[in-house]
Amino acid sequence: MAFKKYSIAAGILSASLLLGACGNSDSASGTKKDSGSKDGKVVVDIFNGKVEIADQLKALTDKYTKEHPNVTFNIESVGGGADGAAALKAKFASNKAPDIFGNGGYQEAITWKDKLEDLSDQPWVKDAYEDALKPMTMDGKIYGQPVNMEGYGFAYNKKLFIKAGITELPKTYSELESAAKKLKAAGITPFSVGYAEWWVLANHGLNVPFAYQQADDENFIPGLNEGKSKIEGNKYFEDYFKLVDLTVKYGNKNPLTTDYNTEVTQFANGETAMIQQGNWIQPMLDKLNPGMEVGFVPLALTDDAAQADKLMVDVPTNWVVYNKAPNADKKAAKDFLNWMVSSEEGKTALVKDFKYVPAFKTIEAKAEDIGPLGADLQKYSKDGKTYSWQFMKYPDGAGQEFGATLQAYVGGQKSKAEAMKALDATWAKLKK
């Protein structure tokens, strides 16, 4: 699968890959006419917002069609990302309701709930990782099938760690700091830092203290919405600023002007030993430095290994079924989604062709299929050593403002106290 920045944009910017469809409709509600099913033939429309898998998706539906000749697929693949939700709304507004589309879960699931089919009774539910079902679980019901898992931490260069004499992987903040000092002493730049990208700081980075805090108190984010919680003065957010300071102190020059492509290229070329990114950089590493030996260490905030030794893992998007689609379309759509994750053809395609880290216990993925970063991610997931993506719960537009605030902190325009006050102010302003 060719690497494109959009392949992470959905998870980073909006956590939503729109997978909807154009179909015949008869009202402003987007309800499709049943005339689409004639002589036992059913057409399932798929609007694919992840353009990188357009060919793979077409090939997979062709395999399904061979087994189910009464079903055909109409696939439209377009770009998506931050504007994906608006594009999906436009489909419904123009009476072109999808049979299958995508949803990022959490707040987005709540927004679209009245259009989502309840999938709780589907066979694949029992096979999914429990955490992978959380983004689309509402009122005890499951409304979406997790597409895959993505995760991040500090990807590290194994050869450079060995060169610096690091024999034990860092699992806590103090161990991470010690590793950075050893790398610097060996003449190696410890961190590749791309803080020109707001989402590196605001979504992925700031997610860590949110995840720690939510694990301690699941009412923290609801409390922010109710004005009962505060970021200012919170220990885990204080610890996050300390981690940012560590990466800047032991990172490349000019972090605020280093963009995503540059930081990944530095890491791939062996110029730096660690980078705060996820398994989505694997295709780029494979292209720039084939066979590069890499793995993950956590974005540790504290010295409690049980708390700190975890990766940030979640589902970037979920397949959902439109609940007002014709019954024949809904039945075929559900059957296809189940076939995709239960048949040998589907499971093999997801791993080998799509290069996905599976969201299902019943789908095995080898390192040679998904790469060493994906393999590490899968191991952490199976060991239950993960935190979920809390940035999906930010108020709309908060991520960009958080990013600007944190960039101002890195650049010295704001103190830590001023930055924390600004984060609270942004949440209070944008919350619904």
Helix, coil or strand: residue 137: strand
At residue 30 the predicted structure's pLDDT band, cuts being 50, 70 and 90, is: very low
Q: What is the DSSP letter of 139?
A: T
Domains by residue range for the chain, with CATH: 6-149+315-362 (3.40.190.10), 151-313+387-430 (3.40.190.10)
Predicted local confidence at residue 54, as pLDDT = 81
Q: Where residue 79 falls among pLDDT bands split at 50, 70, 90?
A: low
**253-311 pLDDT, tens per residue?**
999 999 999 999 999 999 999 999 999 888 889 889 999 999 999 999 999 999 999 99
CA terminus-to-terminus distance, the chain: 38
Sequence-ordered list of residues with C-beta below 8 angstroms from that of 105, at least 6 positions apart, any chain: 15, 134, 135, 136, 144, 315, 317, 318, 392
Q: Quick one: pLDDT band at residue 240, thresholds 50, 70, 90?
A: very high
Write down the pTM of the prediction: 0.78
Tell me: pLDDT of 15 over 60.
no
* Average pLDDT of the segment spanning 58-64: 96
Q: 211 pLDDT exceeds 70?
A: yes
Which residues in 228-244 are b (16+ Cβ under 10 Å) and which e? ebbbbebebbebbbebb
| pLDDT at residue 210, rounded to an integer | 98
Give the pLDDT score at 85.
62
Instruction: Report CA-CA distances (Å) from 13 to 9, 72, 165, 287.
Output: 5, 32, 37, 24
Query: What is the signed CA dihedral for 165, 170, 173, 175, rounded to 10 degrees?
Result: -40
Q: Is the per-residue pLDDT at 12 higher than 70?
A: no
If DSSP codes are grouped into helix, strand and coil, which group holds residue 176?
helix
Instruction: State the pLDDT at residue 103.
Output: 84
pLDDT classification of 181: cutoffs 50, 70, 90: very high
Q: Which residues are CB-neighbours of 110 under 8 A, at least 6 positions away?
A: 138
Token pair of 234, please?
A: 């919170």
pLDDT digits (tens, 9 = 90+) for 360-401: 999 988 888 899 999 999 899 889 899 999 998 898 889 999
